[in-house]
Amino acid sequence: MDRITLDARHLHAFTEVGFEVAGGSGAHGAMTALRKVIPVEAYEFVAYDPATGRHRSLVSSGYARVDEDAAEEYARLDPYRRAMAARVPLAMGAPGTERYYRRHLEPYGWRAGLTAPLFVGGERYTGLLHVNARRALPPEAGTVLAAVAGTLAHVTDLTRCVIDPLGLPPGFHALAFERGGRHRPVAGWPASAAIAAEPAMARLARDFLDSRELSRRGLWPEAGGRWREVRVHRAGVGPHGAVQGALIAERPCALPYDLTAREVEVLTRVAAGDSNPQIAAALVLSVRTVTTHLEHIFAKLGCDSRTRLTTKVLAEGLCRLDLP
């Protein structure tokens, strides 16, 4: 890509593009800023969904119509794949794209255009941006578009979630679930292989969404016997967080307060309001054994009553998280 000399006009536009994307105005605000240096008459943001491996139109403006199948069709073109590899915009009518443009753009009067592949941080592909005009674009248009593509990539990033403002401490791995069970990565956190491998996590997400809880915490013994701290938050997932969903995050942990696995089972029942005989029946233990476990639990957690124990257990997420 050719070098250009940035003047104050370019720098101001680039700053505005970043502000609009970060501030939540998204595509339309960012493109209003970009139009100050590139005379774009129409644009379309196409998102790549890592959950399905497919492309779809996300936001558009200025076109008389947008064909639903056009996004996936364009992403399969060899010239576009080469542009992805080179991280450079592809000009309208470039060899190998003629049929696409004759079908979707030229009938409506568009004579110039660029398509930029969008990568967050130069690494993770999130989609593409079409820009078009009825007259020739200035020579520096491709270079300018390439310069802001990394910022604009956040518009099409479907891994971004709107979550509980408390967020998560470091060290967690996460996935976001839609109500129907589909999961997707979450920007800012590594994907959790443990959650992805457990089918019951989708049911946990749905059960959580059907509850009135804003968040949920607990201890999860995965199949291999390793314990993990799990947190569940309500989250908006998909385009601009528009789909109600749940973010489930986990990190490996040792059982806190030197608790044993059996003691975690007992305190979980206590927090649920069970009596000692009910706990004994549920865990196939004698009432005396349950009483002994409770004595150890009270000592380890520094509690002197079931009420204080329950309060501490729920506040610190010490219950065993049983999957539906």
Predicted confidence band of residue 242 (pLDDT cuts 50, 70, 90) = low
Cα dihedral across residues 55, 56, 58, 64: positive or negative: positive
Q: What is the pLDDT of residues 62-80, one digit of tens each?
A: 988 888 788 899 999 999 9
Provide φ and ψ at 229, rounded to 5°: -80, 130
Q: What does the alpha-carbon distance between residue 176 and residue 164 come to, in Å, rounded to a whole number?
A: 13
| pLDDT in the model for residue 316 | 92
Q: What is the pLDDT of residues 104-137, one digit of tens each?
A: 888 899 999 999 999 998 889 999 999 999 999 9
Predicted confidence band of residue 40 (pLDDT cuts 50, 70, 90) = very high
Helix (H, G, I), strand (E, B) or coil at 275: coil
**Residues sharing a CB contact under 8 Å with residue 247, sequence separation 6 or more, in sequence order:** 161, 163, 174, 175, 176, 177, 186, 232, 233, 234, 235, 237
Residue 34 has pLDDT above 80, yes or no: yes
Predicted confidence band of residue 82 (pLDDT cuts 50, 70, 90) = very high
The rounded radius of gyration (Å) of the Cα atoms in the chain is 26
| pLDDT in the model for residue 223 | 79
| pLDDT in the model for residue 167 | 66
Helix axes 261-271, 276-283, angle to 10 degrees: 130
Give the Å distances, CA to CA, from 297 to 4, 21, 303: 69, 50, 8
| pLDDT in the model for residue 6 | 62
Q: What does the alpha-carbon distance between residue 63 and residue 172 come to, in Å, rounded to a whole number?
A: 43
| Structure tokens given for 316 | 């610190």
Helix axes 26-34, 8-22, angle to 10 degrees: 180
Q: What does the alpha-carbon distance between residue 47 and residue 234 come to, in Å, rounded to a whole number?
A: 23
Cα dihedral across residues 131, 136, 141, 143: positive or negative: positive
Residue 137: DSSP 8-state: P
Average pLDDT of the residues in 181-196? 89
| pLDDT in the model for residue 1 | 45
